[in-house]
């Protein structure tokens, strides 16, 4: 929501005109967009006398306190912080005094509800932004909080803990912990609870200062309840797992939500037909895209998961589907006192919304109020009479991807629509057609000519200004398709309104139910008698429904944001476009520039990149770069980056200045940087960058090579390398042999041989090879490592003889293993093998590692199975030289058992 300022006279005048002239139709199913200043100026728009399903004409909200005494909610003036109103023209936004809705005063045992007077489409997806402030009475603890509620209550509420009063527009739930929604049947509540009641088993002793958000729904038609341990706590599906929809947002919001500060919430529900079906997300106090109330990309919601609202509420039939519910807020206090205030609220269904008005006489505007979005069409005074013709205006939310398809074959191909507040990541575009008042059949709108065209106005408060050199705002920009039927040769298109096409015109069809009909087509036949149909050549047979097509009126789009009649106003008048309206950036100007260049360059060439950023997506256009104050160079932006290949640079420092030149009244941006050029010379590189000789036994030698390359542009003088100790290393055990010439030509390489002698210094040895040369950065270095080990496995005895052993009996003897080496002996296996290994068994007590001079015992048991000489061997696998050692085993089997 944006707060309407007094200086925005166009906005205020048109909106007041809507309220005074179209009070019976202004508040239909629509993109709703409200501040509370205007209802305060006309209190009849908020009524306590709403019946269950009917509100008096012109009523925006229905207020209820459960008694009919009209005590709360109520309007009152408060100071709104700048964060609620991000409009960029304030530069920066400022605090101001505006009216808010006080849901409950700081009194005990209060409950209230506020419902928008017309059911809204909820199952198809929606976005809602609101700001609230909860302020406990001085000296008291926090009370119970507020809830955002969808409901179609019949009055069949709970007779127990939380009790309901009324139904539909007159419904309100219980006070205290019921938060005004408890007891309301057939409702879904997103509660912002600042006091968890002691009767709640999940209280965990935290009843004095609770601060959680939860989603409650007891099922279609059932009375709601705030008990978070029962079946009413919603489970959101995350991946394939159900996750309870309750979160304590203390890390985000401080001690409590009831802190007297303004908190901002965005609720996104994708509906069943978007890219992430039925995804419900709740953001609180998130960072917003500049100038909007849209969370910045990548912002994490406090709650997120899949939940099918249509399956969990009994929805109202809106005329085409069971998809609607009453939308609003409830609140309550109990024994504690808390002032609960809604400061701003928007609710935007993700659907197409149509309004029909008789065309006003020439020279008088035909006004279409979509909340505070006002769309107006005025025919010139000399236009043909419009008697008996109604104008149809449809506001549709479409995805940026679909928008790109619609313009893919037109003059604006590649452009992107600007996504604004309250659209759930979609664009909102308007489509216009006319119908015969008597027959409701599609007819042509009254004709105009190029010198005296129809005047189109859109008015509402700014959010983001259009960016130079232009934006797209068409009338109509696209035409919705009712059906396409093909016989294999030709296809007939039927539009829901005027197709606005002509023979031989190329248009684009997108999002129909048969893919073969989508894409660029050429109109064969079209005529004024049936403006809602035309034909085109097609080999596809069958019938498709839905979708859109571009219109020839795309050529009437305004393409410059400068001092001209871009919206029918006089030259030089400032324009109020932005917020939730449709706009398309033809060239998105950057809001920031940065230069990236190497600090020091060897040679006469350099690659410099300039990166452009914008709050509205990837910028386009050309960037200029000036080197040392010379003539500007130009390069196009691609994905926000312009690349400059600079050549012929002299040695020394150079200054750089990048700019996005002013265009169409847009103020350009600049950035500065520098580079330093040094004369062309040698460049030394060593490969590999490090050398590891691995593990060697004492007395062994390892050999490696290192290559020195001159990748520069001049010969390089090479000196003998030298070795440098690091850590506990000993460079004396490393040897370097230089096979490089004294002068290494540009582009050539040479080799150093490195050897390591494993002397009696054990474990890891380290050193650094350093090469001195005439290249920058000399000497170049390569770290060297090697590991020396000397484990020795010794056995006592070296062979084991058991002598004669009678068959059926056994005897045992031991072999002692000692590590007589200087480093640890690692044992990986002990077993008996060879010969009659099954008659000799071992039961080792040896650990996996034997330290130097450590020993262990290996018991061997001999149990002969046959008479005569028997033999095998004990095998020990380890890290000693050779990898394994053996101890021979022998004995003789004698006699019978």
pLDDT of 351 strictly over 50: yes
Q: Is the pLDDT of residue 626 over 80?
A: yes
CATH code linked to domain 32-349: 2.60.120.200
Lookup: tokens for 797: 């005895």
Residue 27: per-residue pLDDT = 37
What local confidence, expressed as pLDDT, does residue 5 receive? 26
pLDDT at 191 over 60: yes
Q: Is pLDDT at 864 greater than 80 in this prediction?
A: yes
Instruction: Give the span between the Cα atoms of 778 and 328, in whole angstroms.
Output: 73
The contacts of residue 111 (CB under 8 Å, 6+ apart) are: 65, 66, 104, 172, 173, 174, 175, 176, 178, 180, 330, 331, 332, 333
pLDDT score, position 77: 87
**Which is more confidently placed, 231 or 147?**
147
Asked if pLDDT for residue 639 goes beyond 80, the answer is no
> Is residue 94 predicted with pLDDT exceeding 90?
no
Tokens, residue 422: 């309250």
Q: Are 168 and 326 in contact (CB under 8 A)?
A: yes
Distance CA 473, CA 558 (A): 6
Residue 674 has pLDDT above 90, yes or no: no
Residue 431: how many other CB atoms lie within 10 Å: 26
What average pLDDT does this structure show over 204-214? 62
**What is the pTM for the complete model shown?**
0.54
Q: Contact at 8 Å (CB) between 349 and 127? A: no
pLDDT at 17 > cutoff 50: no
In this prediction, residues 693-697 reach a mean pLDDT of 91
Q: At the top level of CATH, which class does the domain 384-453+463-585 belong to? A: mainly beta
* pLDDT tier at 215, thresholds 50, 70, 90: very high
pLDDT, position 813: 93
Per-residue pLDDT for 570 more than 60?
Answer: no
* Rounded average pLDDT over 74-95: 72
| Short-list 174, 199, 195, CA closest to 184 | 174
Q: How many CB atoms lie within 10 A of CB 718?
A: 24
| Cα separation, 827 vs 462, whole angstroms | 77
The pLDDT of 223-230, averaged and rounded, is: 86
Q: Which two tokens stand for residue 485?
A: 């039927």
> Does the pLDDT at position 199 exceed 60?
no
Write down the domain spans for the chain: 32-349, 384-453+463-585, 594-666, 684-789, 793-894
pLDDT value at residue 385: 79
Higher pLDDT: 819 or 452? It is 819
* CA torsion, ordered 531, 535, 540, 546, to nearest 10 deg: -10
Rounded average pLDDT over 826-849: 91
Strongest mean pLDDT among 458-462, 556-560, 595-599, 646-650:
646-650
Higher pLDDT among residues 248 and 462, named by residue: 248
Find how far residue 195's CA is from the centre of its chain.
Answer: 32
Looking at the domain 793-894, which fold is it? Answer: Immunoglobulin-like (2.60.40)
Range from 39-53, 93-107, 334-348, 779-793 carrying the lowest mean pLDDT: 39-53
Identify which of 139-143, 380-384, 891-895 has the greatest average pLDDT: 891-895
User: Which tops the pLDDT comparison, 572 or 257?
Assistant: 257
Both structure tokens of 309: 């609202």
CA 456 to CA 695: how far, in whole Å? 83
> Hey, what are 810's tokens?
């056994």
- Write the pLDDT tens digit of every residue in 35-75: 677 677 667 667 777 888 888 876 778 899 977 666 789 88
Residue 757 tokens, joined: 């002698």
Q: Residue 781, Cβ neighbours under 10 Å: how many?
A: 14
Residue pair 702/766 in contact (Cβ under 8 Å)? The answer is no
- Residue 185: CB partners within 8 Å, gap ≥ 6? 153, 154, 155, 156, 157, 158, 164, 221, 222, 223, 224
At 188 the pLDDT is 98
Which residues are CB-neighbours of 189 under 8 A, at least 6 positions away?
Answer: 147, 148, 149, 179, 181, 215, 216, 217, 224, 226, 330
Report the pLDDT value the prediction gives residue 870, as an integer from 0 to 100: 92
Q: Which CATH class is domain 684-789?
A: mainly beta
How far apart, in Å, are the Cα atoms of 845 and each of 801, 820, 837?
Answer: 21, 18, 19
In the prediction, which pLDDT does 561 show? 25
702/730: higher pLDDT: 702
- Could you give the dihedral angle defined by the CA atoms of residues 208, 214, 215 and 219, in that order, rounded to the nearest 10 degrees? -50
- Most confident stretch, 165-169, 254-258, 298-302: 165-169
> Residue 38 has what pLDDT?
67
Tracing tokens 């707060």 back to the chain, one arrives at 3
Q: Average pLDDT, stretch 449-453? A: 59
What is the per-residue pLDDT for 493?
93
381-417 burial, b for 16+ CB within 10 Å, e for fewer?
A: eebeebeebbbbbbbbbbbeebbebbbeebebeebbb
Most confident of 135-149, 156-170, 441-455, 480-494: 480-494
Choose between 783 and 724: higher pLDDT.
Answer: 783
Per-residue confidence (pLDDT) for residue 815, from 0 to 100: 93
Give residue 419's pLDDT band: very low, low, confident or very high (50, 70, 90): low
Note whether 793 and 876 are within 8 A (CB).
Answer: yes
Pick from 226-240, 433-447, 713-727, 747-761: least confident: 713-727
What does the pLDDT read at residue 296?
A: 80
In a 13 Å sphere around the CA of 867, the CA atoms on its Cβ side amount to 4
The residue among 528 and 241 whose pLDDT is bigger is: 241
- Of 790, 788, 789, 792, residue with least CA distance to 885: 792
What's the average model confidence in pLDDT over 418-423? 52
Q: What is the mean pLDDT of residues 13-30?
A: 30
Q: Identify the weakest region by mean pLDDT among 229-233, 692-696, 741-745.
A: 229-233
Measure the CA–CA gap between 724 and 252, rounded to whole angstroms.
54
- Between residues 275 and 158, which one has the greater pLDDT? 158
The answer to which of 710-714, 752-756, 818-822 has the lowest mean pLDDT is 710-714
Tokens matching residue 9: 């006279």
Q: Of the ranges 62-76, 225-239, 688-702, 823-837, which one carries the lowest mean pLDDT score?
A: 62-76
Residue with structure tokens 């829901």?
496
Q: Percentage of the chain with pLDDT > 90?
A: 28
Q: Which band of pLDDT confidence, cut at 50, 70 and 90, is reported for residue 255? A: low
pLDDT greater than 50 at residue 756: yes
Q: What per-residue confidence (pLDDT) applies to 409?
A: 63
Question: In the chain, how many H helices and how many E strands?
Answer: 5, 63
32-349 and 793-894 have identical folds: no
Cα-Cα-Cα-Cα torsion 532, 537, 541, 546, nearest 10 degrees, comes to -30
DSSP letters spanning 475-538: TTSEEEEEEEEEESSEEEEEESS-----TT-EEEEES-SSGGG-EEEEEEE--SSSTTEEEEE-
Q: Report percent pLDDT > 70 for the chain.
A: 73
- Asked if residue 167 has pLDDT above 50, the reply is yes
pLDDT grade for 582, boundaries at 50, 70 and 90: very low
Burial class (CB in 10 A: 0-12, 13-18, 19+), 629: exposed
Cα gap 431→453, rounded to integer Å: 17
Q: Where are the beta strands (DSSP E) in 360-515?
A: 366-370, 373-378, 389-398, 416-417, 427-436, 442-443, 455-459, 478-487, 490-495, 506-510
What distance in Å separates the CA atoms of residue 458 and residue 456, rounded to the nearest whole number? 7
Contacts with 630 (C-beta within 8 Å, 6 or more apart), sequence order:
none
C-alpha separations of 481 from 272, 321, 343, 491, 745 in Å = 21, 19, 40, 13, 72
Kindly tell me if the per-residue pLDDT of 240 is higher than 80.
yes
Residue 556 CB burial class (10 angstroms; 0-12, 13-18, ≥19): middle
Q: What is the mean pLDDT of residues 336-365?
A: 83
The mean pLDDT value of the chain amounts to 77
Report d(CA 860, CA 843) in Å as an integer: 7
Contact 270, 276 (CB under 8 A): yes
């Amino acid at each position: 929501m944006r707060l309407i300022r007094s200086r925005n006279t166009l906005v205020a005048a048109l909106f007041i005109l809507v309220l005074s002239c179209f009070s019976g139709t202004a508040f239909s199913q629509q993109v709703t967009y409200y501040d509370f200043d205007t209802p305060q100026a006309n209190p009849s728009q908020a009524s306590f006398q709403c019946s269950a399903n009917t509100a008096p004409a012109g009523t925006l909200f229905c207020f209820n306190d459960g008694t009919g005494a009209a005590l709360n909610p109520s309007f009152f003036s408060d100071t709104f912080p700048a964060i609620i109103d991000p409009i960029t023209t304030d530069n920066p936004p400022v605090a101001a005094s505006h009216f808010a809705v006080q849901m409950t005063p700081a009194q005990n045992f209060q409950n209230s509800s506020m419902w928008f007077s017309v059911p809204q489409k909820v199952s198809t997806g929606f976005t809602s932004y609101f700001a609230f402030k909860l302020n406990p009475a001085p000296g008291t603890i926090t009370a119970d909080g507020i809830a955002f509620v969808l409901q179609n209550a019949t009055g069949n509420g709970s007779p127990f803990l939380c009790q309901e009063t009324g139904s539909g527009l007159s419904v309100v739930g219980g006070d205290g912990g019921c938060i005004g929604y408890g007891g309301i049947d057939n409702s879904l509540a997103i509660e912002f609870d600042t006091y968890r009641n002691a009767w709640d088993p999940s209280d965990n002793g935290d009843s004095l200062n609770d601060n959680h958000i939860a989603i409650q729904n007891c099922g279609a038609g059932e009375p709601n309840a705030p008990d978070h341990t029962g079946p009413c706590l919603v489970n959101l599906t995350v991946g394939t797992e159900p996750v309870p929809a309750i979160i304590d947002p203390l890390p985000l919001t401080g001690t409590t939500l009831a802190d007297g500060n303004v908190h901002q919430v965005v609720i996104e529900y994708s509906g069943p037909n978007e890219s992430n079906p039925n995804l419900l997300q709740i953001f609180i106090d998130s960072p917003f895209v500049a100038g909007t109330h849209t969370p910045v990309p990548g912002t994490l919601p406090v709650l997120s998961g899949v939940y099918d609202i249509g399956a969990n509420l009994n929805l109202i039939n809106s005329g085409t589907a069971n998809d609607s519910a009453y939308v609003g807020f409830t609140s309550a206090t109990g024994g504690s006192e808390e002032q609960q205030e809604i400061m701003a609220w928007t609710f935007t269904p993700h659907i197409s919304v149509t309004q029909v008005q008789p065309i006003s006489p020439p020279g008088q505007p035909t006004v279409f109020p979509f909340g505070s979005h006002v769309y107006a069409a005025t025919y010139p005074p000399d236009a043909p009479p419009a008697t008996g013709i109604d104008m149809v205006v449809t506001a549709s939310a479409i995805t940026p991807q679909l928008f790109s398809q619609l313009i893919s074959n037109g003059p604006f191909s590649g452009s992107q629509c600007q996504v604004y507040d309250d659209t759930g990541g979609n664009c909102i575009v308007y489509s216009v057609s006319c119908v015969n008042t008597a027959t409701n059949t599609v007819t042509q709108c009254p004709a105009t000519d190029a010198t005296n065209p129809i005047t189109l106005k859109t008015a509402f408060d700014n959010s983001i200004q259009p960016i130079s050199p232009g934006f797209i705002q068409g009338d109509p920009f696209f035409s919705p398709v009712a059906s396409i039927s093909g016989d294999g040769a030709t296809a007939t298109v039927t539009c829901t309104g005027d197709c606005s096409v002509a023979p031989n015109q190329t248009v684009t069809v997108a999002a129909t139910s048969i893919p073969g009909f989508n894409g660029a087509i050429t109109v064969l036949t079209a005529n004024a008698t049936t403006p809602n149909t035309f034909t085109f050549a097609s080999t596809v047979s069958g019938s498709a429904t839905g979708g859109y097509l571009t219109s020839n009126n795309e050529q009437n789009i305004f393409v410059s944001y400068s001092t001209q009649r871009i919206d029918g106003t006089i030259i030089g008048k400032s324009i109020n476009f932005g917020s939730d309206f449709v706009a398309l950036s033809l060239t998105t100007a950057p809001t920031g520039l940065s230069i990236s260049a190497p600090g020091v360059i060897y040679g006469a060439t350099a690659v410099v990149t300039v990166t452009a950023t914008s709050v509205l997506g990837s910028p386009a256009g050309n960037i200029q770069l000036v080197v040392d104050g010379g003539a500007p160079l130009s390069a196009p932006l691609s994905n926000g980056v312009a690349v400059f290949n600079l050549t012929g640079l002299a040695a020394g420092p150079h200054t750089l200045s990048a700019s996005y030149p002013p265009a169409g009244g847009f103020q350009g941006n600049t950035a500065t940087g520098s580079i330093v050029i040094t004369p062309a010379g040698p460049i030394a590189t060593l490969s590999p960058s490090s050398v590891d000789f691995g593990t060697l036994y004492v007395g062994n030698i390892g050999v490696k090579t290192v290559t020195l390359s001159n990748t520069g542009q001049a010969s390089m003088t090479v000196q003998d390398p030298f070795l440098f100790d690091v850590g506990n290393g000993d460079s004396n055990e490393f040897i370097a042999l230089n096979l490089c010439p004294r002068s290494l030509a540009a582009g050539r390489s040479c080799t150093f041989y490195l050897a390591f002698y494993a002397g009696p210094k054990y474990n890891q040895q380290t050193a650094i090879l350093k090469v001195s040369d005439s290249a920058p950065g000399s000497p170049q270095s390569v770290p060297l490592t090697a590991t020396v080990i000397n484990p020795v496995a010794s056995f006592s005895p070296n062979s084991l003889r058991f002598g004669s052993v009678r068959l059926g009996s056994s005897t045992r003897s031991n072999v002692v293993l000692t590590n007589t080496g200087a480093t640890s002996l690692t044992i990986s296996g002990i077993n008996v093998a060879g010969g009659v290994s099954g008659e000799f068994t071992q039961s080792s007590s040896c650990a996996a590692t034997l330290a130097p001079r450590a020993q262990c015992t290996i018991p061997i048991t001999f149990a002969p199975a046959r008479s005569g000489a028997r033999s095998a061997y004990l095998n020990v696998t380890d890290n000693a030289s050779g990898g394994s050692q053996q101890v021979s085993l022998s004995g003789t089997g004698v006699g019978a058992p």
